[in-house]
Amino acid sequence: MVNALTAFGLAIGWMDIVGVLCFELVMYYIMRQRRSAVKADLPALEIQPVEDQKPRNPLPNLLSRQRMMETENAWIFWGYLLMLNMWIVVSLLMIAGIIMHKPELMTIYLSWCFCGLVIDVLMIFWWIFEMFVGDTIVAMTNILISLLTFAVELAFVLVIYAIYLNLSWSPDAVNTKVTAYFHWLLLE
């Protein structure tokens, strides 16, 4: 029998997985389009003399694709791909923890989301810095997106943590060691 909170946790897990897969497809499509555009522009790049090239900005806008070389874009793509696939594995572990009533599997998801919250805070500070040295409108838009991401991720953490507490305190749980280890989180 599944209660509403547990069903919501399962929905969060499956929604994460579907969202990550859609994001991977979009990234693959964008990189494929970019590579075909770069291959089409190669002759025009060879004609330009070296003196006409502008020096690279020492403080480029974060992820400014116009100022990045193709190898930098490829490294960002593969880094994102690795992170997104790890996200799928962590979400599957969280779903397995809910289904099998093993809250210790959910701690990995909680740790992952906590690290995401820290990254969101760092990104907000980065965009505030970007607002003063770069494009203000883009930076303010990115700050709002980062705040929205932070709020959604915090809500996910709170829901999964409530499910974790319910499973840890359930009478059929055989996980006293895990509950004792995370006792400081229980705020008794």
The pLDDT tens digits of the residues spanning 94-123 come to 999 988 888 888 889 999 889 989 998 998
- Cβ neighbours for 21, distance < 8 A, ≥ 6 positions apart: 88
Residue indicated by tokens 């330009």: 48
Q: What is the pLDDT of residue 75?
A: 78
State the amino acid at position 163 in one-letter form.
I
Distance CA 171, CA 178 (A): 14
Of 25 and 184, the one with more pLDDT: 25
- Cβ neighbours for 113, distance < 8 A, ≥ 6 positions apart: 153, 156, 157, 160
- Per residue in 15-33, pLDDT tens? 989 999 998 888 888 877 7
Q: What is the pLDDT of residue 122?
A: 92
Q: What is the 3-state secondary structure (H, E, C) of the chain?
A: CCCHHHHHHHHHHHHHHHHHHHHHHHHHHHHHHHHHHHHHHHHHHHHCCHHHCCCCCCCCCCCCHHHCCHHHHHHHHHHHHHHHHHHHHHHHHHHHHHHCCCHHHHHHHHHHHHHHHHHHHHHHHHHHHHHHHCCHHHHHHHHHHHHHHHHHHHHHHHHHHHHHHHHHCCCCCCCHHHHHHCHHHCCC
Supply the pTM of this predicted model. 0.67
* For the chain, domain boundaries: 4-43+67-185
> What is the percent of the chain with per-residue pLDDT over 70, rounded to a whole number?
69
